[in-house]
Structure 1
Amino acid sequence: MLGALTGFATIGIVIAVGALVAHLGLFDMQAQTMLSRLAFFVASPALMLLTIGESDVAHVLSANLVASVASVVVTASILLVIARWRWRMSAGEATIGALSTTYVNAGNLGIPVAAYVLGDASLVAPTLLIQLLVMAPLSLAILDRFVRGGGGGVRRTVLGALSNPLTVGSLLGLALGLSGWTLPEVIHAPLDLIAQMAVPAMLLAYGIALRLGPGLGAGLGRKLWVTCSLKLLVQPFVAYAAGHWILGASGAPLLAIVITAALPTAQNIFVYASRYDVGTALARDTILITTIGSVPVILTATLLLSP
């Protein structure tokens, strides 16, 4: 439980630093854009390459992954139905909305939570891999096609996804993980140094946007509360239902499934929204509220499901 609190505190402090430097006038929205681009094009691909390359790819076949996929599909489907028939969102806005309700902070928060609360950091690997290798490339392909106005049919959509820097980094990492090959230190060391910029850049950019952007919930109304409710309540419940009633998991494995689904929305989604200039307020505010709201959800799950 201490690990979960430590992870949340670390994220909150770095975001607060970003807000502080913006408040003091040291950085403006141009700096926020620069940090987001740095994370998207440079640091995050390096992070994905190393993270996946050093993961146990066999975990992809675990029950954790099956339950995680079920929770993502059900939760995203609910959001997309509401977005289409109630809110009349564009494809880009709906994509950011779906990501905001399902794409969890499995990296800089999920890893410490898994290590200190569950006792095994590798338990977050299945979710991390499915997000990086399926959810992110698919979502970015949709954003490339519908937000940036790309045409050319399926071929261009696939090529666009494969040329995305995050997808490239993820695929290279998967190749490393499957081959068992280890990067020589002369390559690994600079990549690791660059990768370490990813999370701080995301968090600082997010803090700057919180301070200089529109106020919390500005113009979002029910959209914000629907996305937050889906993320904090529906996704963990569906993960529990799939893990316990369908897969028969219990004890520590079930706790791992629920906690992973209960993690807050990842800062990556704000980077994506900023990159494509769509749904930025929804992504920003959902991240903030779910980061705060996931604390009691995770602590409650730990108390109820701990073996």
Structure 2
Amino acid sequence: MGAIGALERLVPVVLAFGCGVVLARRKVVPAESSKAFADYAFLFAVPCFLFGNIYRSDLGALFAWRALSGYAAAACAAAALVGTAAWVLGVRDPRAVALRIMAAVQVNTAYFAVPVFIMLFGDAAPVFPVLLFQVCVLSLVVISVMELGRPDRTGGPARRLGSAVGASLMTPVVIACNAGIVLNLLPVTVPRVVLDSFAFVGDSASPVALFALGLHLGGSGLEVRGTTREEVCLIGFKCVALPLIAYAVCRYAFGVEGDWLRYLVLIAAMPAPQNLFVFAQRYDVGVGLSASLVIKSSVVALALLPLWTQLVARPA
């Protein structure tokens, strides 16, 4: 896929995202309504999309364990690098270190990777295993650090941690993924009318999620001049270094080639996760930093996507 072909396939992504930015800037649609659109996408449309697609998928092909192990190893290596760098540079609060690791290593799957993969490949299935790895492994580690380091909570550490982990695992996205996997494995046939209904709602997930992100950006604004050196380093690591680490680890350490290598590099090139800001608000740590990273990494990732798409299209 050449640069022109990549740009053509990304036009719908830019259109939905850009429309949100323009309408919010012109105050045609209130920027505050981005939360309502985002909640619809994350709590309803995306779970519908994930359930139907996972239920219909070939799980053997979907969970390519060598590829996923390579991505997990790359993510762990990247997390160690970011955590060590933050500590060396004077960040001593474990919660602040965890937030920076989340910003640099986790990716925006539901709101960004899913619609991008649909536009580029007509299928977002390769995103699903990485989404589960993020929610069930990476996010749980971050939540554990945040909960154990939170000074304003009552109850013992075990109780607080158990409550946070339970809440994380009971999100609609995780429930939809697990339900799709279980019903795929069991000799159970989901009625066609149910799958068609889920598909109808799920088809709206991509444009609504991107529109919500655009509304958020249009309302918040983008202050390039106020970007700190730390923000530049974290965004550069997220949008450039992490895809390169994923490529090197997956290809040379785990022997991943072909389509899966391309998928994993593109997934790693996605921006910082939108729930980074949610975590920062909930645990009252790095709120301003997280909001800036989510917005600016989304813009940088969108600008670099045609380049990454062209690079990964070349034979490994």
Q: TM-score, normalised by structure 1?
A: 0.79
Counterpart for residue 95 of structure 1? 99
Q: For 1:75, which of 65, 78, 82 is the aligned residue?
A: 78
Inter-partner Cα distance in structure 2 for 1:143 and 1:183? 39
Give the percent of matched residue pairs that are identical in Structure 1 and Structure 2.
19
* Counterpart residue identity of residue 31, structure 1: S
Cα offset for 1:15? 0.7
3-state SS of the aligned residue for 1:264? coil
3-state SS of the aligned residue for 2:274? helix
Distance of aligned partners of 1:104 and 1:77 in 2 relative to their CA distance in 1, 3 Å threshold: farther
- Say whether the 8 Å CA contact 2:243–2:268 is kept in structure 1: yes
Counterpart for residue 265 of structure 2? 259
CA deviations over 1:143-182 (Å, ceiling 9, x no partner):
7887896662342233222222222222212212333644
Inter-partner Cα distance in structure 2 for 1:36 and 1:28? 13
Indicate the larger mover: 225-234 or 80-89. Answer: 80-89
- Say whether the 8 Å CA contact 1:96–1:283 is kept in structure 2: no
Q: How does 1:50-65 map to 2 (within 5 A)?
A: 50-58=52-60, 59-65=62-68
Cα offset for 1:111? 4.4
| Coordinate RMSD, CA, aligned | 3.4
CA deviations over 1:250-294 (Å, ceiling 9, x no partner):
5x257436633553227xx22563586442221121111122123
* Counterpart residue identity of residue 225, structure 1: V
Q: How does 1:133-212 map to 2 (within 5 A)?
A: 133-135=136-138, 152-179=159-186, 181-212=188-219
- Say whether the 8 Å CA contact 1:231–1:265 is kept in structure 2: yes
Q: Given the alignment of the two structures, is residue 281 of structure 1 paired with residue 287 of structure 2, yes or no?
A: no
Inter-partner Cα distance in structure 1 for 2:180 and 2:165? 19
Inter-partner Cα distance in structure 2 for 1:150 and 1:135? 22
Distance of aligned partners of 1:42 and 1:244 in 2 relative to their CA distance in 1, 3 Å threshold: closer
- Say whether the 8 Å CA contact 2:19–2:214 is kept in structure 1: yes
Indicate the larger mover: 193-202 or 286-295. Answer: 193-202
- Say whether the 8 Å CA contact 1:111–1:124 is kept in structure 2: no
* Counterpart residue identity of residue 106, structure 2: T
Distance of aligned partners of 1:290 and 1:144 in 2 relative to their CA distance in 1, 3 Å threshold: farther
Distance of aligned partners of 1:158 and 1:129 in 2 relative to their CA distance in 1, 3 Å threshold: closer
CA deviations over 1:225-272 (Å, ceiling 9, x no partner):
22222223322222232233222345x257436633553227xx2256
- Say whether the 8 Å CA contact 1:114–1:124 is kept in structure 2: no
Q: How many residues align?
A: 298
Distance of aligned partners of 1:50 and 1:219 in 2 relative to their CA distance in 1, 3 Å threshold: farther
Inter-partner Cα distance in structure 2 for 1:283 and 1:153? 27
Which consecutive unaligned segments of at least 5 residues does structure 2 have? Answer: 282-286
- Say whether the 8 Å CA contact 2:25–2:218 is kept in structure 1: yes
Q: For 1:293, which of 268, 285, 304 is the aligned residue?
A: 304
- Say whether the 8 Å CA contact 1:235–1:262 is kept in structure 2: yes
Counterpart for residue 116 of structure 2? 109
Indicate the larger mover: 204-213 or 132-141. Answer: 132-141
* Counterpart residue identity of residue 214, structure 2: G
- Say whether the 8 Å CA contact 2:34–2:215 is kept in structure 1: yes
Inter-partner Cα distance in structure 2 for 1:172 and 1:51? 11
- Say whether the 8 Å CA contact 1:19–1:208 is kept in structure 2: yes
Distance of aligned partners of 1:23 and 1:193 in 2 relative to their CA distance in 1, 3 Å threshold: same
3-state SS of the aligned residue for 1:103? coil
3-state SS of the aligned residue for 1:107? helix
Counterpart for residue 34 of structure 1? 36
Which consecutive unaligned segments of at least 5 residues does structure 1 have? Answer: none
Distance of aligned partners of 1:290 and 1:143 in 2 relative to their CA distance in 1, 3 Å threshold: farther
- Say whether the 8 Å CA contact 2:50–2:128 is kept in structure 1: no
Inter-partner Cα distance in structure 1 for 2:151 and 2:31? 21
* Counterpart residue identity of residue 98, structure 1: M
Distance of aligned partners of 1:124 and 1:209 in 2 relative to their CA distance in 1, 3 Å threshold: closer
- Say whether the 8 Å CA contact 1:239–1:258 is kept in structure 2: yes
Inter-partner Cα distance in structure 1 for 2:88 and 2:24? 38
